[in-house]
Structures are given as C-alpha cells and as structure tokens.
Structure 1
Amino acid sequence: MKKITARQRQILWLLLGVNEEITAAEIAESIGVSVRTVHREMEDIEQLLGEFGLDLIRKSGKGIALSGPEPALAELRLFLREEKPAEYSGEDRKIFELCLLLEAEEPVKLFTLAHSLKVTVATISYDLDELEPWVRKFGLELVRRRGYGVEITGLEVDKRRAICRLAAEHLDLSDLVGHTPQTESNPVFRLLLTTVGKSNLMSVESMLWDMEWKWTAELPEIVYMEMLLGLAVSTRRIEIGRGMVSGEEAGYSRLSDHRNIAGTEQFVSRLETVLGQEFPRAEILYFAGLFDRVQDSFSSSGFAYGDIELMEMVYRLTESVAKRTGLPFQRDRSLREGLLEHMDPALKRIREGTRIRNPLLGPIRKDYEYLFTVVRAAAQDMKLELTIPDEEIGFLVMHFGASVERLNQLRRSVRAILVCASGLSSSRLLATRLAKEMPQIEVLGNISWYEAARLPDMDYDLIISTIDLPIDKERYIKISPLLTGDEIEKLLNYIHNITLNEQDTAAPQESGNTSREEAALSRLKSYKGILDEMVSLLERFRFHPLDNSGLSLSGTLSGMLNLLNGSGVIDDADILLERLLERERMASQVIPDTGLALFHTRSSHVHMSSLTLYRLRQPVLLEGGTEVRVILLMLAPRKLSKESLEVLSEISALLLNSELVKLLEERTEPEIRRYLSSELLHFFENKM
C-alpha cells in the first residue's frame, strides 16, 4: 500500500470527521494550504481510498465527501492511526524543532534535526529563521553557531511560557482532556503532548479539584485551562530536570498579599505523593505566583467585564452591525454580556500574536455568509490598531447568530447541560439552535468539561458537548454548535433510546416538581441578591470635591483612598493604590471623549462594594497623556457574587451614556443617585 503524506492524512481525518459535504476551500482553510493544493492531493487520496473499497464523492456546488460501508471506514481510521506519514509538513517540522530545543540539555546539531525530520540541513536552517521572532517574544534567544549547534537560552519561567503558548496555538481542548487518537497518532503531536505534560495533566487537575478552593470553581474555563496547562508543563519540566533555580524570577508578584503560600504548600505536598516527584521551594513560590496572577487577572477582567475601552468597542460593534442589518442588537443584553466576556481575552491573544483557532470557520462562513460579511465590515470600520483574523470574526458571528435566533423560552421536558470548547460564543449559538429546532430540550446552562466530569446525574438528564470529554461515552452526546440536520436526528435518537429510558426508571413527576421548585427558589434568591447589591451600593454612593493641587496621579488616588479610611470599605490603602496604578498602566481608564475616568479593582482588602465620585481642583495626567478632572472609583471585594458583578457591570455600561457622564461631571450627589436608581430599576425589571 502506498505511503501517505502528513497533509493527505489531515485531509482524510477532516473528511472522516464530517457528516456532510465539505468544500475544498474549507479543507484548505482548516489545514493552511491553497485550494489548488487540496485539488492536487485528491488524485492520490482517491487511489488510496480505492484500496479500502471507498469512494470520493465530489458534488458540484456542495463539496467533497467519503462514501462506503462502515467497516471500510473503520479500516481506514485504523490505518491512519497506525501508518507513519512519509513526510512532515512545514508546520509539523517547526513544532518538532521547538519541542526538541525547549527540552534539550545541550545544543542540538543541525544535522541531527535534519536526520530526524528527513529533510536537508538547509531546510532546518530556513525553519529556524522563521522561528527566531517567535522565540524572541518570550524573552528567549535562539543561539546558532557553526560547529556548536543550536539551542534556546533564557529563563526557565520564559521557557514554560513559550511551551504553554505552543500548546495554545496547536492543540484543542479535546487534545488535552479528551480521547483523540487522530492527534496522538501523529508523532509530532505526540511529542508536543509529552512536552506539555499531558500524562500528568489529569492527575494535576484531579488534585486541584480535591483542594476544594472556591476561587478555582469560579474561574472561567479558558483561565482554568491556562492555569492547569501551566501546572502540567511545570511537572514535566521538573520530571526532566528543568526545575526552577532558587533565586530565579519565580513569578511571585511583589503586590501579592501572600494568600496562596500555605495552600500551595499543601497542594504541592499532595502532588509529590501522587506523581512521585520532589518539588523544590522555588517551584512552590512559582506555583503560588501562578495562583496569584490567575486570581488577579480574573479579578481585574471579571470586574465590570474589563475596561471602558472594551465596553465602547462592544457598543460600536453592536451599533454598526445593527445599522447594517436593521436588527435591534442593542436591546439584547445577553449579546452585550457575551461579547464583553469573549472579546477581552480574544483581543489579548491577538495583541500577543497568539494564533486563533476556530475549527468551525468553514461551516460558519457557509451557514452565516451574510452575517459574516456584515460583522467583518463592522470590525474593519472600528479602525482598531490590530488586524482581526477571520477565525475571530467567526466567533463574533456566532454571538450575533445566537442573538438572531434567540427565542422565548418554551415548555420543555428534557434538561440538558452544554459543554462547548469555544466558550460563550459556541454555547449560546448551540443553545439558541436547540431552542429553535428542539423545543422539548430545556438548556439548564453551560459548564466546563471539568464540571461535567463531576456533575451528579440527578442534576441533569443529558449532557450535550461539542468536544470529547474525559467521561464515559454513555454519559454524553457529542455534536457541533451548528446542529446540522443529521445531528438533530442523532440527538433525538439519543434522547429516545437513552435519556428517556433512564427517566422511566426513576420517579419523573416528583423529581421534575422538585427541580422546578428549586429553580424557582434559586431565581428568587438571585433577584434578592441583585436588589440588595443595588440598594446598598446606592446608599453608600458619595461625592467628594478633592484638592489635588500639585499632586501626581499617584498622589491624587492616594487622597481619594484616604477619604475612604474609617468607612469600613477598605483596610490597606497602599496595596489598593498599587493595584489601581497597575491597572492604569495596563489599559486606559478614560471614558472616550470625556474628562471622566473610571478606576476600579477587586481585592481582599476591600470589604464591601463601593462607588465614590471625585471632582478634582486640577486636572490629573494619566498614562498616554490624557487629562481628566473627574474620577469615579469603583471598588469591590475579591469574592463577589454573580449578582453583585452584574450590578457593577451595568453601572460601568451606563458610563457610555452621555447623560450620566454629564451628571457626574456637573450635578449634585442626590441627582446622580436618582438617575442611577432609575436606570438600575429598569435593568432589574428587564430581568424579571
């Protein structure tokens, strides 16, 4: 039988993984080649398929599909898992080279790399030229000398950052936590999975969960995965003797309040037992610093969904798409919240140069062609200082697509939990597709893969996932967020043959009534939490004129915080001052086209949410050269309920309203309080 190339293997896995036709353009986009290259490969692929008794069906205007009996398809899958490709793609070579160099103890000869990859030394040299800028982004250096070889030098902490980024750019969530034989069969991806410590990842995750830290359960899935990957990479580095050196930068921030040292020591002690490894003190500090940074970054981004610039971006994008389509996207609060939560980490990755992966880009372009064109045009009109790739436009389209299809809740009989790899965009699109196509399913919510693995059976009837999960196949069904016709039929069969049969063996009426009663009580508690937060925040709202003559930004903020001393709101003004200044260095706090800035943070040194307004005697200069005369200070505890976060987010969003800005700049405390009361009451009534 003829040898196949790595590219042909990729194409065949794609064809095996879809239920309908897929176009050559979609294949080309998925594997990063031209359409012409795909067509050129088809002749060899067709010959190979003939040896298995399979046909390659090409339908004009529709695309390409495999056809043949299931036993033959199963034989092809087995062949692809076992057969070694005749050559590596350019992308595969670079992954292999980076993994090898990041793990090497000493310089590697170019000849050794060339021999391993079955290419010339000149090809390796060209690859390294292309990799050099990527390596420099992490503060590392790619050293090449004749007769010496090649190596990557730099701090261990930066090498770990590079490995985590390499994983983020080339691995999906399913590769890390699911069962993906097509990835593990590729020797390059096997090497990458080894480098990131996949063999330890689930043990680390289980230990992390067993610690029962409340803050880990509150992390967004993407943040949780980044942290988990960082821990798994560290265990692999220690395993091969690349541990942190005492005295080397361990990532333990000087702003830390040392809250994680004791917990980290306990976590590491348990991990040593499970993995049979010894963790030096420098690693404990590194882990503690990692936990600190995760909590701090989540606290900052989670507070009011990030900064005002981001809110204005979402506002402009939504307005632009609404004008182009004539649809009232501005009224959809779920759309706004979803975009705010999605765009913050997405823009960060684009700025860092991280490759955006969107495996659904082809189908999205096909099914939402008009909306894709509109959203891309709207994004271009915003004239951002960075290029938004089509993969990211695809995620934005999923948010708007979900908004278009969003319907009123209908009476349902099957309770479902969603697990989606691409976060809120795919989960909301799938939820609205389900509401439209299968109203008998009640979507209880979207959870992470690690929550799904531990969710009690009584809490749901069905788990619907867009990725492979590390749980028994019988416990969930895997479909795509676009919910194709074949998948609707597959889902109906699953519900009929498994879910409803299981319900028949229980006491459905009693269970259903209990569930509805608990859901009603939960909603009432949520409403009470929102009302309590609004009332207490408005009652504590204060306005202070502030004489900041001759003071810098630091001195001005210090004066503002001093006015809160003795109020019971804060206990350590110095740490809060550092946090506020650090946040200002990270992103502008100025409300666009105004002399008003919003400074905000969450900290364990804040004991209750607080909203205070300061009008300055002299304008103060912020980062970027912008002057402001009015500052709104919003503080909140580190541990904050979902309801409190919603209220603070709503107040932040109101700052895009020119009427509120004018009140804050010119009017009295009672007038501002009355306006906020009216707007928050309207917000609450809309939630009922």
Structure 2
Amino acid sequence: MRKVTARQRQIIWLLLGVNEEITAAEIAEGTGVSVRTVHREMEDIEQTLADFGLDLIRKSGKGIQLSGPEDGLAELRLFLRQEKPAEYSGEERKVYELCSLLEAEEPVKLFTLAHWLKVTVATVSYDLDELEPWVRKFNLQLVRRRGYGVEITGSEIDKRRAIGRLAAEHLDLSDLVGHAPQMASSPVFRILLLTVGKNNLLDVENTLWDMEWQWTAELPEIVYMEMLLGLAVTTRRIAIGKGIESGGDTGYPRMSDHRNIAGAEQFVQRLGPALEEDIPRVEILYIAGLFDRAQDSFSAGGIAYGDIELMETVYKLTESVIRRTGLPFQSDRSLREGLLEHMEPAFKRLREGTRIRNPLLGPIRKDYDYLFQIVRAAVEDLQLELEIPDEEIAFLVMHFGASIERLNQLKRSVRAILVCASGLSSSRLLATRLAKEMPQIEILGNISWYEAARLPEVDYDLIISTIDLPLDKERYIKISPLLTGDEIEKLLSYIQNITLRERESIPKSETDRTGREVSALDRLKSYKGILDETVSLLERFRFYPLDNAGIPLDATISAMLDFLKGSGVIGDADILLERLLERERMSSQVIPDTGLALFHTRSSHIHMSSLTLYRLKQPVVLEGNTEVRVILLMLAPRKLSKESLEVLSEISAMLLNSELVKLLEERTESEIRGYLSSELLHFFENKM
C-alpha cells in the first residue's frame, strides 16, 4: 500500500466529508493550499483511491466527487486513521534540500538533511542523485564526499538563476504577491518563500513602482515578474552574506551606453533604507544588468509581437485548427495577437527546460476535450524541435476556446477589470465566459496584479481576479478562469451586495457621465494614434535599389542605413548596425519560402518609425544558407505607443501574405504604398 502525505490525507478526508461535488477552489480553501497544488496532488490521490476500488468523478461546472462501493469507502477511512502520513512528498523533499544547500554557509551532513526531513540517509542520497542533473543545468556542481557532507558550488550568479527557476517551477503568483501565501502552511514552501526573498518582494516592487519609469510600465507582466523576482532574490542573498564578490562577473554584458547603471544607482538609493542594507557597487551593476535584460528581452530586438518565424508558426497552427474545425479563426485578430504574445515566452521557457505549470489542465481536458485533441494534432503537424507538454497545449486551447466563444459586445452596466495569473490565455477565456454568462459586465481590460493594486477606484466598478491580490478582500473577487456555475452565483451576489451598493453611494453623474466621457475620449485618442502612425509611416515609406556587389552583409546593412541619414529617422547608425546584425545572428529574418527578409529593431537611437525597402543587386546569404535579394527595413523608437506597435505588428503579419511579398519583390513604390494603405485602412475599420 502506498504512502500518503499529510496534505493528501487532508484532501481525501475533505472529499469523504461531502455528499456532493466540491470544486478544486473549495478544496484549496479548505486545505490552505493553492488550486495548482490541489491539481498537482490529484494524480497521486487517484492512484491511492484505485487501491480501494474508488474513483474521482469530475463534472463540468460542478466539481469533483468521490465515488465507489461503500465497503471501499469504509476501508479507506480505516486506512487513513491507521496510516501514519509521510511528512513530505518526494518533490517537496527536493525543494527543501535545494533551498537548504543554496543557503548553507558550509557543507551540510546527509544525516542533518535526513533528520530535518524525517527520512533515512539513503532516501536523501537518492533524492540528491535525481537533483544532480537539474543542478548542472545552471553550471553548478553538487559536491558529495564522505565525512565532508554535501554542498552546491558555483558562481553566485548561477545560484541566483537556480533559485529563480525553483520559484518559477513551484510557486504561484498568489504565493509571491498575495497577503497570505497559499503554501505558507507547509514548512517546505515556507523555506522556499524565504529563499526567494518573499519578505522583501513587495518593498522592492513598491520602490520599483515609485521610480515612475516608463519602460517598466511597458513590460509584459511575465517579464516584469522575472525581473522583480531577480531583484527580490538579490536582496535576500545580500542579507545572508551571499553577495557577488567585488571585481567578479556580474553575469550580464554591458551595453555600449550603460543605460541602466544610473537608474540602478537611484533605485538602490531609494531601496536601501527599506532593507536596512548597504548594497555594494558590484550589486548595483548586477541590478543594472537585470534591468537591461528585462528591456532587451521584450523590446530591443523587435517591433512585432514576435519574430517572423514565430508568426509563421502561429499562422500554420491556426490554419491547421481551421481545417479541422471549419471555424473562421483567421478573421480573429485577437486570437493571432494573443497566440504570438503567449507563445514567444512559453517557447523560450521550454527551450530553457523550465517546467510548464497549468493548474487548469484537468478542467480544460474535461470541458474542452474535443478542442484539446484538435490543438494537440495541429501542434504535432508543426513538427517543432520542441516537446510541447499537455500543460502548454491547454494554454493554447484556452486561446482558441476564447475565440470560439467570442460574442458581439452588448450594452453593459458594470465595468470590470480582469487580473489573471496565466496571462492572456486565461484572461481571454474568462472574458468570453463572462460575456456569454453575464453580459451585464463590461470588461475594460486585463491588467497585472501590480497595476490593479494601484488603479484608482473611480476607474472601475469591480476587479475580477484568478489569484490572490495584495488588496483588501472587499476590493476584488477571486474566481477561476473557467467560471463555474457556483462562481457565477458568487459573482452575481458580489455585484448585487457590494459593487452596486457602493456605486449607489456615488453621484450618478460621476459614475456614468464621467466614466463614459473618459472611456470615449480614450478610444478617440487611440483611434487618432493609429491613424497618425499609419499616415506618417506610409508617407515616409521609400524604395531604394542597392548595388551591394562584392560587399559583405554588414556593409550592405550599413549602406541601407546611409539612405536614412539626414532624414531625421536615425541617430547613431553604428549602434543600429550592431543591433540589426545581432538580431540576424539570434534568429532568422527570412520570410519563409521567399527571397525576402525583414530586418527590424527598436532603439533610443531611432527618432521616428520608418519603413524602407531595398532590392539588392547581389543576394546576401542569411541563416540556413538562404539567399535574399529583397530586404524590408522596419525601425522604431524604443519608447513606442501601443497604437504604433499595433500598426507595425500588423505590417509584419502582412508579410505572410504572398500578394504583398510579390509586390515587395517586383512592383513600384506607389503600388506597394497603395496596397499597404488599403490593408491598414481595413485594419483600422475593424478596430472601430
């Protein structure tokens, strides 16, 4: 008979104590853990129940129920009363061991770890065997010697990377930013939260917000959280005397303008008093590197939502799902944009070997099984050089499910903001579920937890979140992205008893007229931004024939930039040349199955957006030994409005259209401008 952990025992007793379905959220609340943890435990629990001839029955929109013969239930109760629970699961033990070793001042005896975990030395030794490959991924070494103990050796930078990955694999966003972490009841996760600097995280985040930097406000939430976690880990390591040695490598190459060192100095000056720690110069350089990496990973390289190669992947995936379903997904721009924004960081994590976590995998497979199988088959058609786990397939299903359920907007009466831990996939699914089930709610948008914590209350009536927030409980309601029947009733009750009553206390003119005026004005400004960017970009569009005979790629790109000198578009052409060459080395710029390449970048050395076309006398050879005779150069400033980004992204997406490719390869400047004008006008009309 298998062992059960204390947490599994608690969940099983909860299932035995009810006569009807119970949701994963209710189990999580009853056991003091996260919904993700509940789903993670279910597989082991089901195997335990099978030993007694029992099953778990999942009903869509209702929850989970224990099912089986009465004698099996009685035998299970007897087993739980007699069985002494294992203190920790194998996964929990490994987390505890890693945290202990990464924070230890000296080698730790195997006996000491075994004593802490209440297991045998042999068990700890077996755990360490399994942990060794994981540790090596970060250029670290797990050293074990008889009479010496065990320790993790390597650079401080690599240890911080390992801690960040450990947090990403085992902690929910709620654990990091909620007032009361879901996992705080477990000693294992208490030590993990301590190791990642949870105690200082909100102080760090408040300081970061108070800097009022525009670039941090523009970061995607996943990039912002990675940077914030890196900063929190840094403060924790400094506090326990694990700083980077003076003169040591800070782990990140400096950019030529050292753009974030001054900002890091200001940030540390503000943060120091809150932490009561002196932060040395070498750590300031490391923090500047964290800022650089956050900026570069999101905007320095490109303009569009993703690279051309990624756009092609999204296009093929969508086409494959269209063939299998007959549904017109190609007309849903929100689907395309959502997939691009989601898949770029998701594929990056998969390449790095990061485990993908999706707490909604079980419910999605149950409620959307037909669509899950279709998306899985479509992904297999792509023949990617990556193994895509079911958890990631479920995220993609949420995007397509949201697209299927997307309905025409109806007149709303309650303005709501969404906060979702899993990003665009879960927020879009929840938004469409709300549109279908509760059309009286107007979804104003999806924002991050840190924006929600500071959003003026006059800007919305209701915050709907799928995670715990660092807010008073009265200011938001927490539900799941799948919006079960019970949650619909809970949400209706919240709106009637809290939201609408609070709004009644505010003069009607303030809630209705002002809200409509602000909303309408913001939309008009957005429309104007799109039109202004479109018109100016098309007016500046130029075509140049380029004689590049006998010169290499770098000289060819340099000659392309020479055409823009004196136009007011660019500043330092040498830095832009380095950026464009770096982009070409990082990933393919070639439009698949064409002789056309898109070179694109954003930089503070670019003063206005620009689109120029070059037809080369001699082809250049790019990645994959692909010959290219036509290059489209797309440049944009580092600081770019959302509307400008949308226009440039739309043009990038058009390059997958063979008609535009043919025009770029063969036709005149005016013909190309006419085609772009027509397509962008259609894009603008669809926005209204």
Calculate the TM-score normalised by the size of structure 1: 0.91
Structure 2 counterparts to residues 278-317 of structure 1, below 5 A: 278-300=278-300, 303-317=303-317
2:7 and 2:414 map into 1 onto residues whose CA distance is 43
Deviation at 1:95, TM superposition (A): 0.8
Deviation at 1:651, TM superposition (A): 0.3
Which sits farther off after the overlay, 619-628 or 88-97? Answer: 619-628
Deviation at 1:619, TM superposition (A): 1.8
Which sits farther off after the overlay, 432-441 or 12-21? Answer: 12-21
Deviation at 1:445, TM superposition (A): 0.8
Deviation at 1:216, TM superposition (A): 1.0
**May I ask how many residue pairs the two structures share in their alignment?**
656
Give the structure 2 partner of residue 5 of structure 1: 6
Structure 2 counterpart of 1:30, one-letter code: R
Give the structure 2 partner of residue 253 of structure 1: 253
2:219 and 2:43 map into 1 onto residues whose CA distance is 37
Structure 2 counterparts to residues 425-464 of structure 1, below 5 A: 425-464=425-464
Give the structure 2 partner of residue 196 of structure 1: 196
Summarize the Cα distance change of 1:652–1:199 in structure 2 as closer, same or farther, 3 Å threshold: same
2:175–2:182 Cα contact (<8 Å) kept: no
Deviation at 1:566, TM superposition (A): 1.8
1:521-580 per-position Cα deviation (integer Å, ceiling 9, x unaligned)? 111111111111111111111122222233332222222222222221111122212222
Structure 1 counterpart of 2:9, one-letter code: Q
Give the structure 2 partner of residue 113 of structure 1: 113
1:69-106 per-position Cα deviation (integer Å, ceiling 9, x unaligned)? xxxxxxxxxxxxxxx96422111111111111111222
Structure 2 counterparts to residues 60-459 of structure 1, below 5 A: 64-65=64-65, 86-180=86-180, 182-300=182-300, 303-459=303-459
2:24–2:63 Cα contact (<8 Å) kept: no
Give the structure 2 partner of residue 485 of structure 1: 485
1:324-380 per-position Cα deviation (integer Å, ceiling 9, x unaligned)? 111101100111111111110011111111011111111111111111111111111
Structure 1 counterpart of 2:392, one-letter code: E
2:573 and 2:27 map into 1 onto residues whose CA distance is 60
Deviation at 1:182, TM superposition (A): 4.2
Deviation at 1:138, TM superposition (A): 1.5
Calculate the TM-score normalised by the size of structure 2: 0.91
Give the structure 1 partner of residue 25 of structure 2: 18
2:38 and 2:283 map into 1 onto residues whose CA distance is 43
2:608 and 2:335 map into 1 onto residues whose CA distance is 29
Structure 1 counterpart of 2:25, one-letter code: V
1:12 and 1:322 map into 2 onto residues whose CA distance is 45
Structure 1 counterpart of 2:166, one-letter code: L
1:412–1:441 Cα contact (<8 Å) kept: yes
2:362 and 2:508 map into 1 onto residues whose CA distance is 41
Summarize the Cα distance change of 1:110–1:510 in structure 2 as closer, same or farther, 3 Å threshold: closer
SS in 1 for 2:246: coil
Aligned: 1:608 with 2:608: yes
1:256–1:292 Cα contact (<8 Å) kept: no
1:253-306 per-position Cα deviation (integer Å, ceiling 9, x unaligned)? 332422222221111011111110010000111111111111111114762112
Structure 1 counterpart of 2:197, one-letter code: G
Structure 2 counterpart of 1:321, one-letter code: V
Structure 1 counterpart of 2:224, one-letter code: Y
**What are the ranges of 5 or more consecutive residues in structure 2 without an aligned counterpart?**
16-21, 29-35, 68-83
1:403 and 1:421 map into 2 onto residues whose CA distance is 19
Q: Provide the alpha-carbon RMSD of the alignment.
A: 2.5
Identity across the alignment (%): 77
Give the structure 1 partner of residue 516 of structure 2: 516
Summarize the Cα distance change of 1:577–1:41 in structure 2 as closer, same or farther, 3 Å threshold: farther
Structure 2 counterpart of 1:552, one-letter code: P
Give the structure 2 partner of residue 527 of structure 1: 527
SS in 1 for 2:593: coil
2:615–2:629 Cα contact (<8 Å) kept: yes
Aligned: 1:30 with 2:40: yes
2:46–2:56 Cα contact (<8 Å) kept: no
2:357–2:391 Cα contact (<8 Å) kept: yes
Deviation at 1:614, TM superposition (A): 1.5
Summarize the Cα distance change of 1:41–1:447 in structure 2 as closer, same or farther, 3 Å threshold: farther
SS in 2 for 1:416: strand
Which sits farther off after the overlay, 295-304 or 268-277? Answer: 295-304
2:6 and 2:108 map into 1 onto residues whose CA distance is 26
Structure 2 counterpart of 1:245, one-letter code: E
SS in 2 for 1:305: coil
Deviation at 1:438, TM superposition (A): 0.6
2:564–2:570 Cα contact (<8 Å) kept: yes
1:233 and 1:85 map into 2 onto residues whose CA distance is 33
Summarize the Cα distance change of 1:160–1:42 in structure 2 as closer, same or farther, 3 Å threshold: farther
1:63 and 1:448 map into 2 onto residues whose CA distance is 28
1:155-181 per-position Cα deviation (integer Å, ceiling 9, x unaligned)? 211111111111001101001011445
SS in 2 for 1:617: strand
1:295-324 per-position Cα deviation (integer Å, ceiling 9, x unaligned)? 111114762112001101111111111111
2:27–2:38 Cα contact (<8 Å) kept: no
SS in 2 for 1:601: strand
Structure 1 counterpart of 2:270, one-letter code: R
Summarize the Cα distance change of 1:205–1:601 in structure 2 as closer, same or farther, 3 Å threshold: same
SS in 1 for 2:636: strand
Which sits farther off after the overlay, 193-202 or 537-546? Answer: 537-546
1:227–1:290 Cα contact (<8 Å) kept: yes
Which sits farther off after the overlay, 388-397 or 545-554? Answer: 545-554
Structure 2 counterparts to residues 514-593 of structure 1, below 5 A: 514-593=514-593
Summarize the Cα distance change of 1:494–1:59 in structure 2 as closer, same or farther, 3 Å threshold: closer
2:174–2:181 Cα contact (<8 Å) kept: no
Summarize the Cα distance change of 1:87–1:538 in structure 2 as closer, same or farther, 3 Å threshold: same
Structure 2 counterpart of 1:101, one-letter code: L
1:681 and 1:144 map into 2 onto residues whose CA distance is 66
2:13 and 2:607 map into 1 onto residues whose CA distance is 57
1:13 and 1:449 map into 2 onto residues whose CA distance is 31
**What are the ranges of 5 or more consecutive residues in structure 1 without an aligned counterpart?**
47-55, 68-83
1:559 and 1:475 map into 2 onto residues whose CA distance is 57
Summarize the Cα distance change of 1:664–1:465 in structure 2 as closer, same or farther, 3 Å threshold: same
2:679 and 2:7 map into 1 onto residues whose CA distance is 58
1:311 and 1:517 map into 2 onto residues whose CA distance is 37
Deviation at 1:9, TM superposition (A): 4.4
